[in-house]
Amino acid sequence: MDSKPQQLHIFFFPLMAPGHMIPTIDMARLFAFHGVKATIITTHLNAPLFSKTIERDRQLGSEINIRAVKFPSAEAGLPEDCENLNSITSHEMSLNFYKALSLLRQPLEQLLEECRPDCLVADMMFPWATEVAGRFGIPRLVFHGTSFFALCVVDGLMRHQPYKNIASDSEAFVVPGLPDQIKMTMLHLPNYVREGSKNELSNLIDQSLQAELTSYGIIMNSFYELEPAYSEHYRKVMGRKAWNIGPFSLCNRDTEDKSQRGNKPSFDEHECLSWLDSKKPNSVLYICFGSVSCFSAAQLLEIAMGLEASGQQFIWVVRNADKENDDEKGEWLPEGFEKRMDGRGWIIRGWAPQVLILDHKAIGGFVTHCGWNSTLEGLTAGVPMVTWPLFADQFYNGKLVTDVLRVGVEVGAQEWSRWIDNKKVSVKRENIEKAVTQLMAGEEAEEMRNRARALKEMARRATEEGGSSYSDLNALIDELRSYRP
Catalytic residues: 20, 123
Report strand pairing: 140-143 vs 183-184. unpaired
- Of 291, 355, 269, 282, residue with least CA distance to 314: 282
Residues 117-134: b if buried by 16+ CB within 10 A, e if exposed: bbbbbbbbbbbbbbebbe
Contact between 407 and 433 under an 8 Å Cβ cutoff? The reply is no
Query: What whole-number distance in Å separates Cα of residue 244 and Cα of residue 149?
Result: 13
Provide CB contacts within 8 A for 450, sequence distance 6+. Answer: none
- Bond prior to 247 in cis (omega within 30° of 0): yes
Query: What whole-number distance in Å separates Cα of residue 466 and Cα of residue 17?
Result: 33
> Where does 293-428 have alpha helices with state H?
297-310, 337-340, 354-358, 372-380, 394-399
Find the helix or strand (DSSP H, E) in which 387 lies.
strand 385-387
Contact between 218 and 123 under an 8 Å Cβ cutoff? The reply is no
Provide CB contacts within 8 A for 377, sequence distance 6+. Answer: 247, 249, 354, 355, 358
Query: What whole-number distance in Å separates Cα of residue 1 and Cα of residue 302?
Result: 70
Provide CB contacts within 8 A for 194, sequence distance 6+. Answer: 169, 186, 187, 416
Secondary structure (3-state) at 62: coil
Half-sphere exposure in the Cβ direction for 13 (13 Å, CA): 28
Find the helix or strand (DSSP H, E) in which 409 lies.
strand 408-410
Secondary structure (3-state) at 148: helix
